[in-house]
A and B are shown apart, each in its own frame.
Chain A
Amino acid sequence: MAIVNITINGQNIQAKAGQTVLQAATEASIHIPTLCHHPALPPEGACRLCLVEIEKQRALQPSCTFPVTEGMVVHTQSPKVLEARKFVLTMLFSERNHFCMYCQKSGGDCELQNAAYEEGMTHWPLQPNWQPCWVDATHPYYVLDNNRCILCRRCVRACGELVGNFTLGLEARGAKTVLVADCGVPLGESSCVHCGTCVQSCPTGALIDRQGVYLGKEAQFERVPSTCVGCSVGCGIEMLVRDNQLVRIEGNWQAPVNSGVLCEVGRYGSLHRGRERLTTPLVRKNGSQQPVSWDEALDFLAERLGPPPKRMSKRVAALASTRLPAEALYFFKSLFGDQLHSAMATGIEEEATTGVQHSLIEKDVSLNGSLDALKAADCVVAIGVNLLDNHQVAGFLVKRNLPKGTQLIVIDPFENPMHGLTDYALQPKRGQDYALLLGIMAGVIRSGMSKGKLPSGFDLKKYTSRSVSKTTGIPAKTILEVARLIASAQKPVFVYGKGITQNGSTKVLRALIALARVVGASELVGTKGKANSLTAHRYQLDKSFDPQGYKAVYVALGDDELSPQLMKGLDKVPFLAVQASYASPVTAKADVVLPVGMWAEQEGHYLNMDGRLQVAQRGLQSPQDVRSNLEVLQAVAGHLGVELDSDWRQALGQVKG
């Protein structure tokens, strides 16, 4: 990259061509105050606080948008600049209600207040114009107070350019400009997806988090970097902890997967507000659960599980949540699979065929696509997957690129909200997604646009666009259009979910792989399921659960919930032991309940959907009598007199940093 020589405040700096003055200054540790600027967002140049004096320029220039040029001479602290800065702040304060004494952001967290302190402003030269703006408190998670808004558009840009939702926008002109949702509907009734990225981006008190409000300031929080365990995307998060309370969760702007963006599940769902904690071991005596000591509970459990059998046995079936850390999952496998020789030690995921899917893809590592590929794709084919409701951040990565010209093709025989995102919403008749893929493949080959070889085992003769149109119900013209669209893409990416393996068949996935080969693509992204779904697969904990005939069932649930189907399977179990963080129907049914820490109270490793190994840190202390998932499995093994293998890393196989 070309080097550009510039001078800032008399200091010679080698900047990179294409950088802005602000970027060059920041890299050289020269501070320029900003408000509308945010490193994760495209520059805006709205607030004018970053104005600098550039020699040979007629007027002061905003450093956040002004590109560096050879020989440029910049002054960031000249009297003219300082005067302009104070003037900009004066105008901002005079526009609305910026009285700090009753604002939750006051005292270090407000970028506007900090900027005023930095300029040594002891008072406002101009008083406000006393025009009240409306406040919108209709949203379940945040309050929008237009009186505190400085119209920097950070939230608008976050909503559109990071999340791809385009809910927020500005309405009216000049001093009357206000932030609105959609075309002016209340925020709570808008198209908002509750991801909270706008709140995290707001520099003032205009967007306030309802649940964390007045519970502390930045200086009082400990920020614990960690990984979200809400799903297999594995977003980087920061836990904001004060006095052992998880006050807020924010997206980590530096995280490679999500770069700061989170979804509702990760930001608000993970706070687990309103769930009832289990704080002491329970044992069923005379029909009701009684609190007991750990020793008593473990002795009782060991007695009921009996001495470890020597060979494969139908004594204990075991079920583990795939939200548990890899360390705990490996202990689980070692305890129930290896030491107790259970043929039924498996994970909680109901997609019984995930395992088959994983195996098919994992055999051919070159086909294991990444989330980074999704960010750069110019054509995304989503099949059997709903990224608007599950794995939402992966959905954001796709949605935000649509206005930039990325083509989206959604194939699903069932109703899929993603169909609303694109003109190419293909809904073949039930069971005909396979035929459709072959039709598209045949279309690519017949158009002479194939870039790779058709794998063996596919006979496309019958799959003319006309015949496929007849079986799938999709117009022949559309099939050909889609075929050409995928074939002409530079970086096509295929995303698939559990919807493509109906009835345990991998037929559709095989067809998808073949299509990827034909168009020369190497990026297939499988959404997997929960946070450690891939780990569970690598540990062979992914067969479907059937406790029939077993004398006892052990459920390592952690802070997860059990699906109604799995619950039903436990109906006739003679003896049920559960390790769980929260009270639920399954713990109510159990004969032994062992209380364990929730996700924020334990540390461990997670393998996300594209095979990246990440660490989840511990941010909170567990209640006094509660142990971690790992400790409990170890204690159970101890009481049974067996040794556990702890080399979880080795068994995980190949991972990305």
Chain B
Amino acid sequence: MGKPKIASDWLAGCAGCHMSLLDIDERIVQVAELTDIRATPITDLKQPDKEGVDVGILEGAINLTTNEEVAHRMRERCKILVSLGDCAVFGGVIAMRNFGKLEDALRRAYVETESTDAEGKIPSDPELGKPTSVRAVHEVVPVDVFIPGCPPDPDVIFYALSELAQGRIPEIKDDKLHWH
């Protein structure tokens, strides 16, 4: 058996969890030695291999129909799915939108901002996908490992990756468990 293949993708998030992943600094070399890093949003290859990967990592919440597609694709193509960060695990800051109406949130974001001119309108290009209520990843596809945190600590990410690289399921508890 070769090195475990890892792929990641992001949904409705701020990319901060991937930044935190980069914050493991030189330890990324160890991760690269132990694993075969395939597609990620911050490398050239964007989509996980059709033949499948061992570990799939998702950052961000489900907030659009396109997010649903990305989540389903990752679930289909990976053996172990990891929810990385508070948005993926809980819905995060984006889920604040659910306490009000979707239309109100869109209007506030695209029409009523201080810098919007008279032509401001809510985008409706079909390529963008359709906004939905905000959900955690595990409300859409089954998730195997949850790593909460806003963002998760680089040490926790490194611990989780090195466990996964060695074929073990990381246990996120005690001082590794942070929700914010």
Inter-chain CA distance A621–B179, complex, in Å, is: 36
Within 8 A of B (CB), among A58-112: 97, 99-103, 106-107
Inter-chain CA distance A99–B87, complex, in Å, is: 10
| Contacting pair A122 B172 (CB below 8 A) | yes
Inter-chain CA distance A97–B174, complex, in Å, is: 24
Known A-B contacts A99-B91, A99-B92; the reply to A122 vs B86 at CB < 8 A is: no
Inter-chain CA distance A107–B178, complex, in Å, is: 8
B136 touches which one: A97, A106, A123, A147 (CB < 8 A)? A123
Check: B90 CB closer than 8 A to any chain A CB: yes
**Chain A interface residue number, banded:** 20 to 34
Check: A120 CB closer than 8 A to any chain B CB: yes
Check: B50 CB closer than 8 A to any chain A CB: no
Which residue of chain A has its CB nearest to the CB of B135?
A127
Which residue of chain A has its CB nearest to the CB of B145?
A122
Which residue of chain A has its CB nearest to the CB of B92?
A101
Inter-chain CA distance A116–B100, complex, in Å, is: 27
Known A-B contacts A106-B180, A116-B179, A127-B135; the reply to A122 vs B147 at CB < 8 A is: yes
Check: B148 CB closer than 8 A to any chain A CB: yes
Inter-chain CA distance A107–B177, complex, in Å, is: 11
| Contacting pair B83 A123 (CB below 8 A) | yes
Check: B95 CB closer than 8 A to any chain A CB: yes
| Contacting pair B99 A97 (CB below 8 A) | yes
| Contacting pair B89 A99 (CB below 8 A) | no
Check: A457 CB closer than 8 A to any chain B CB: no
Check: B139 CB closer than 8 A to any chain A CB: yes
Check: A414 CB closer than 8 A to any chain B CB: no
Report the minimal beta-carbon distance from A100 to chain B, rounded to whole angstroms.
4
| Contacting pair B146 A99 (CB below 8 A) | no
B180 touches which one: A100, A122, A124 (CB < 8 A)? A100
Per-residue contact bits, chain B 119-148, to A (CB 8 Å; 1 contact, 0 not) = 000000000000001011011000100111
Known A-B contacts A102-B93, A116-B179, A120-B173; the reply to A127 vs B136 at CB < 8 A is: yes
Which residue of chain A has its CB nearest to the CB of B95?
A99
Per-residue contact bits, chain A 112-141, to B (CB 8 Å; 1 contact, 0 not) = 010011001011100110101000000000
Inside 8 A of B100's CB, which chain A residues have their CB? 132
Inter-chain CA distance A123–B95, complex, in Å, is: 15
Which residue of chain A has its CB nearest to the CB of B179?
A100
Inter-chain CA distance A130–B98, complex, in Å, is: 6
Check: B150 CB closer than 8 A to any chain A CB: yes
Inside 8 A of B179's CB, which chain A residues have their CB? 100-101, 106, 113, 116-117
| Contacting pair A101 B93 (CB below 8 A) | yes
Which residue of chain B has its CB nearest to the CB of A147?
B99
Nearest 5 CB-CB pairs, A to B? Answer: A122-B146, A101-B150, A106-B180, A132-B99, A123-B146
Sample 26 A-B pairs with CB under 8 A, ordered by A number: A97-B99, A99-B86, A99-B90, A99-B91, A99-B95, A99-B96, A101-B92, A101-B93, A101-B180, A102-B93, A103-B180, A106-B180, A113-B179, A117-B174, A117-B177, A120-B173, A122-B89, A122-B146, A122-B177, A123-B136, A123-B143, A124-B90, A124-B136, A127-B90, A130-B133, A132-B99
